[in-house]
């Protein structure tokens, strides 16, 4: 009897997920590491998501001040937003998806280093303007879907500038860490550290639908270097060459966690992930959001290569 109940519950949940319609915005700090490029390629593949715009996100962090290099970049004079924008434009050309506009996001965090409060600066950008305009055309039944692969600055800036759009948007994001057993959050994670103010604002916004892929969950999606480069070399395309070259450009080791790809695959294939409704951290209130607590990494890896093959023929 219990198994029948669980099956009915699963089918009902899956049906609800399939009913999530509306346009998609993909927001990425593509210049930071490697997995953004793989995630974008999967998202814009023929069997991917209906992406209407690709926006760039900054990845400003303290090591850009203290260190001489970040991944393969010399940090002197590095504009992290512009590096993300450059790669976004390249990946859209190489996936032959120039029908998707590449727009710039904010180049700085929300508020100040010591926090955000009413009246503190909210960065403006074409990405934030796009979110507000499209969200005003959306509805609670047909929401604008915003997928954030890096800091959630652009989504949070839109909410701060136009709080009336909250019922009309759904935010998917990669960030933070979460212990499913203890139900405890840890905000000490790269994306969150790049704009903790933005993350806190979204968590604390009543009525905002949020889906969080914690880094602690995404960590299961590992790609092995030798296997990945062999698969990429099986065909010769500019896109495959860029994905292969990126491994060396970011000083990748023998394996790499495809953090961002895990989120894209979970959105594309809800059956490949376990999601639970959980409370936000206590400092952000008592409301509940959706949290991915497990993923089927083998299925996600296979699906990525299937999606890449769809791009080969474009």
| In the predicted structure, residue 14 carries a pLDDT above the cut 60 | no
Averaged pLDDT for residues 307-311: 96
Mean pLDDT of 105-119: 95
Contacts of 129 by beta carbon, 8 Å cutoff, 6+ apart: none
Three-class SS state of 69? strand
Secondary element (H or E) of residue 308: helix 297-312
| pLDDT class of 77 with cuts at 50, 70, 90 | confident
Q: In the structure, what pLDDT confidence band is assigned to residue 7 with cuts at 50, 70 and 90?
A: very low
Say which DSSP state 72 is in.
Answer: T
The predicted model gives 90-102 an average pLDDT of 97
Per-residue confidence (pLDDT) for residue 163, from 0 to 100: 98
* 290 neighbors 270 (Cβ within 8 angstroms): no
Q: Which pLDDT score, from 0 to 100, does residue 20 have?
A: 59
| For residue 91, pLDDT beyond 70 | yes
Model pLDDT, residue 242 = 97
285 pLDDT above the threshold of 50? yes
Mean per-residue pLDDT, 240-253: 94
**What pLDDT is attached to residue 61?**
87
Contact 127, 56 (CB under 8 A): yes
**Average pLDDT for 167-179:** 98
Residue 281 burial by CB count (10 A; 0-12/13-18/19+): exposed, middle or buried?
middle
Give percent above pLDDT 90 in the chain: 86
pLDDT band at 8 (very low <50, low <70, confident <90, very high): very low
From 41-55, 73-87, 251-265, the region with the lowest mean pLDDT: 73-87
pLDDT of 218 over the 70 cut: yes
Average pLDDT over residues 211-234: 98
* Vertex 110: Cα angle to 105 and 113 (nearest 5): 130
Fold classification of 22-312 (topology level): Inosine-uridine Nucleoside N-ribohydrolase; Chain A (3.90.245)
The mean predicted confidence, pLDDT, of the chain is 93
pLDDT at residue 73 in the model: 80
- What is the rounded CA–CA span in Å between residue 229 and residue 223? 10
* Cα–Cα dist 210/202, whole Å: 8
> What is the distance of C-alpha 183 from the center of its chain?
22
pLDDT at position 128: 98
Residue 3 pLDDT level (bands cut at 50, 70, 90): very low
- Model pLDDT for residues 21-76, shown as the tens digit of each residue: 679 999 999 999 999 999 999 999 999 999 999 999 999 988 888 888 888 788 88
Average pLDDT over residues 221-250: 96
Percent of the chain with pLDDT over 70: 93
What is the residue-wise DSSP string for 83-100? HHHHHHHHHHHHTT-TTS
Decide which of 140 and 17 is more confident: 140
pTM: 0.93
Locate the domains of the chain by residue range.
22-312
Contact between 223 and 33 under an 8 Å Cβ cutoff? The reply is no
Examine the pLDDT at 16 and tell me if it is beyond 60: no
Is 279 a residue whose pLDDT tops 80?
A: yes
């Amino acid at each position: 009897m219990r198994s029948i109940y669980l099956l009915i519950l699963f089918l009902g949940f899956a049906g609800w997920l399939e009913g999530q319609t509306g346009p998609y915005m993909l927001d990425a700090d593509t210049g930071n590491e490697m997995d953004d490029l793989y995630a974008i390629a999967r998202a814009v593949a023929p069997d991917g998501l209906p992406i209407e715009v690709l926006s760039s996100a900054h990845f400003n962090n303290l090591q850009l001040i203290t260190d001489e290099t970040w991944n393969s970049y010399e940090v002197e004079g590095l504009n992290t937003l512009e590096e993300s924008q450059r790669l976004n434009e390249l990946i859209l050309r190489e996936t032959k998806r120039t029908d998707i506009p590449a727009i710039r996001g904010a180049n700085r965090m929300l508020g100040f280093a010591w926090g955000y409060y009413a009246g503190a600066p909210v960065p403006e950008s074409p990405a934030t303007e796009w979110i507000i305009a499209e969200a005003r055309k959306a509805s609670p039944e047909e929401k604008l879907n915003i997928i954030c692969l890096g800091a959630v600055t652009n989504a949070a800036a839109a909410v701060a500038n136009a709080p009336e759009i909250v019922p009309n948007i759904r935010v998917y994001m990669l960030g933070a860490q979460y212990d499913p057993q203890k139900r405890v959050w840890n905000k000490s994670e790269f994306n969150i550290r790049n704009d903790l103010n933005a993350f806190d604002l979204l968590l604390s916004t009543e009525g905002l639908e949020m889906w969080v892929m914690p880094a602690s969950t995404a960590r299961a999606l590992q790609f092995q270097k030798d296997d990945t480069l062999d698969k990429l070399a099986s065909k010769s395309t500019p896109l495959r060459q860029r994905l292969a070259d990126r491994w060396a450009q970011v000083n990748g080791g023998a394996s790499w966690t495809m953090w961002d790809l895990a989120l894209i695959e979970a959105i594309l294939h809800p059956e490949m992930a376990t999601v639970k409704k959980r409370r936000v951290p206590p400092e952000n209130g008592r409301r509940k959001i959706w949290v991915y607590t497990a993923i089927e990494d083998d299925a996600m890896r296979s699906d990525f290569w299937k999606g890449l093959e769809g791009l080969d023929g474009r």
